[in-house]
Amino acid sequence: MDSERLPNLLVRMLKEQGEAVRDSAFALSGGIDSSLLYIAIGKRNHAYSIGTEGSQDFAYADALCRFLGTALNKITVNEDDILEASNIVKKIDPQIPFLDLGFETVLALLLSNIREDSLVTGQGADEIFYGYAKFSDGREENNLKSLTKLNSVTLPRERKIADYFGKTLIAPYMQNGIPEYFSGLHRNIHASLEKNKIILREAGKMEGLPEKIFLRNKKAAQYGSGIKKIQEKLGLKQW
């Protein structure tokens, strides 16, 4: 991989979307996906992080906002909030697998708490930039299966969830030719046994993200927020 060309290209393609996200809320977990979006095009917007009391995502998102001198809106949720949001997601998609229920409940909770009409998310980064462990360990040779599910199942479902709350979703990684260009690159450019999302991490480093952010290991939203643990406690896995 050209250590500068590809990360620079990605940042340019993101920054070209700056006007499109004006006045939008930003979902910020403190992971590389959302943090790169926030530092590149979101610092003038409100950032929201969601989780249970003391969740890992709160710590990382708060550290990033303090580093950048911006404010973070922390939304602390309890069992009743999580159950209500889970029920909404399940009503929208009765066949949703438990794994998907976790991250879609995170999305529903965010959408129900933001003041803005639109929410910017890092959706698509894992599929395009080989963020899942199954890519690094060789269980899946390429990202075609994951991209197919993203486009045919996940994104349509998330639009329905956003519609339920009267909101609009914006996914910059899915815009401006980013999927077409970067998802076509060979897996070895994106990931190795030791490291994933290589282009994203290099882009974050170049944009000035703290090392603890751009090197942070992947932590899916339902885990970093603590929400999946509550869903298991509530017995939602048996739905």
Q: What is the CATH number of the domain that holds 166?
A: 3.40.50.620
Q: Per-residue pLDDT for 107 more than 70?
A: yes
Number of domains within the chain: 1
Edge-to-edge strand order for the sheet containing 168-170?
A: 72-76, 47-51, 25-27, 118-120, 168-170
In a domain, 155, yes or no: yes
How large is the average pLDDT for residues 198-221? 87
In a domain, 113, yes or no: yes
Mean pLDDT of the residues in the chain? 92
Q: Domain residues for 173?
A: 5-228
In a domain, 125, yes or no: yes
In a domain, 237, yes or no: no
Assign 223 a pLDDT band (cuts: 50, 70, 90): low
In a domain, 39, yes or no: yes
In a domain, 234, yes or no: no
Q: Per-residue pLDDT for 1 more than 70?
A: no
In a domain, 233, yes or no: no
| Nearest to 178, CA basis, from 6, 10, 17 | 10
In a domain, 35, yes or no: yes
pLDDT at 12: 98
Bigger pLDDT: 120 or 135?
120
pLDDT at 218: 62
